[in-house]
Amino acid sequence: MKIGPMIIDPPVMLAPMAGVSNRAYRSIARRQGATLCITEMVNANALLHNSAKSFWLMEMDPGEHPVGIQIAGSTPEVMAEAAYQAERQGCDLIDINMGCPVPKVVKNGDGSALLNDADRAVSVVREVVSAVKIPVTVKVRAGWNHNSITAPSLAESFERVGARAITIHARTRDDLYTRPANWDFIRQVKERVDIPVVGNGDVRTPEDAVRMIEQTGADGVMIGRASFGDPWIFRRITEFVRAGRHLDPPDALERAEMALYHVRRMVEIKGETVAIREMRKQLTWYLRGTPGSNTYRNRCYALNTRDEAENLIHEWLNHARNEELSWI
């Protein structure tokens, strides 16, 4: 798949996710086979007000390429300036968020609210494209609800004003994350545009990825929640797409080593207090799935220090080994 001058091969990508796709996790996903990673959502208004958090969200590791910075907002001029600022950070593409369904974003007219305002949505894309020299992509949901599936027509308009790729999350805003994804929405978008279309939603296995591409004609897949506690999913999909070969799932030691790496990298980047607070949830994902692991997962929410986190991981690993568990 080609986005502007970039070749994304195989096109297996990490989705932008608040609280997840930070520098630490992007480095993990990339090591495990994600060929393009997108940052957490950066609020355009906050960025223009020199929010320290916004600049932290845009920080990248040396050599972290290709990587996109996702920006969110609904004022074309503000989004254009935010895109210019993001480009200066050294990213390879700008991704525009038109899919976030959470109320605090939607109430400001941002995220998936733009699906209800085609003129403004197109103006946002047009202004962002004109403000930067790197490719601009757009991530959308299918529509506001099932009575208003606007993504296919919007995608045509976005292509016309210069967008270089579209990612379609195959749910509506009203679906949130509970209703099963309807991949036919991806097919509808793909049939309307010539630029690459990336499918997102309910890809949990290598077979899912191949089936989505076959059923919809999508040029690539983007993985979000299925990677929680399982960044190996990118490698499994990549290997299956390239060679038709299944890789063994990670065993307990591999999971423990990855969890330890993640904790240590987060502490390096964010400092111990913030890092451990943010890692509590992520550690529960790494440890889930084994008999008796609920006790360890519940204890994650009380962690406050790196030592506590590491000790818990080692204790859980000993438990897993003693039970002679294999991971699925």
Among residues of the chain, what percentage have pLDDT more than 70?
Answer: 98
Give the CATH number of domain 252-322. 1.10.1200
Q: CA-CA distances (angstroms) from residue 290 to 250, 281, 294, 303, 321? A: 13, 17, 8, 20, 11
Mean pLDDT of 135-154: 97
Give the span between the Cα atoms of 58 and 74, in whole angstroms. 19
324 band by pLDDT with thresholds 50, 70 and 90: low
**pLDDT score recorded for residue 320:** 84
pLDDT in tens, 87-141: 999 999 999 999 999 999 999 999 999 999 999 999 999 999 999 999 999 999 9
Considering the chain, what is the average pLDDT of its residues?
A: 95
Segment 260-276 shows an average pLDDT of 97
Cβ–Cβ under 8 Å, residues 52 and 29: no
State the pLDDT at residue 321: 81
Q: pLDDT per residue over 198-233, tens digit each?
A: 999 999 999 999 999 999 999 999 999 999 999 999
Point out which residues pair with 200 in neighbouring strands.
169, 222
Catalytic residue among 37, 91, 100, 300: 100
Q: What is the CATH number of domain 2-243?
A: 3.20.20.70
The C-alpha atoms of residue 129 and residue 137 are separated, in whole angstroms, by 9
Over residues 276-311, the pLDDT tens digits come to 999 999 999 999 877 678 889 999 999 999 999 999
Where is 221: in which H helix or E strand? Answer: strand 220-223
CATH 3.20.20.70 residue spans of the chain = 2-243
φ, ψ dihedrals at 86, nearest 5°: -65, -40
CATH 1.10.1200 intervals, the chain: 252-322
Calpha distance 4→107 (Å, rounded): 33
pLDDT at 326 over 60: no
Q: Is the pLDDT of residue 325 over 70?
A: no
Angle at 30 between CA 222 and CA 231, to 5 degrees: 70
Nearest to 127 by CA among 174, 84, 186, 188: 84
43 has a pLDDT exceeding 50: yes
Sequence-distant (≥ 6) Cβ neighbours of residue 311 within 8 angstroms: none
Judge whether residue 47 has pLDDT over 80: yes
Which residue in the block uniquely carries the two structure tokens 């962690």?
Answer: 303
Q: Is residue 300 annotated as part of the catalytic site, yes or no?
A: no
The pLDDT score that the predictor gives to residue 292 is: 74
Tokens representing 132? 């930067």
pTM: 0.94
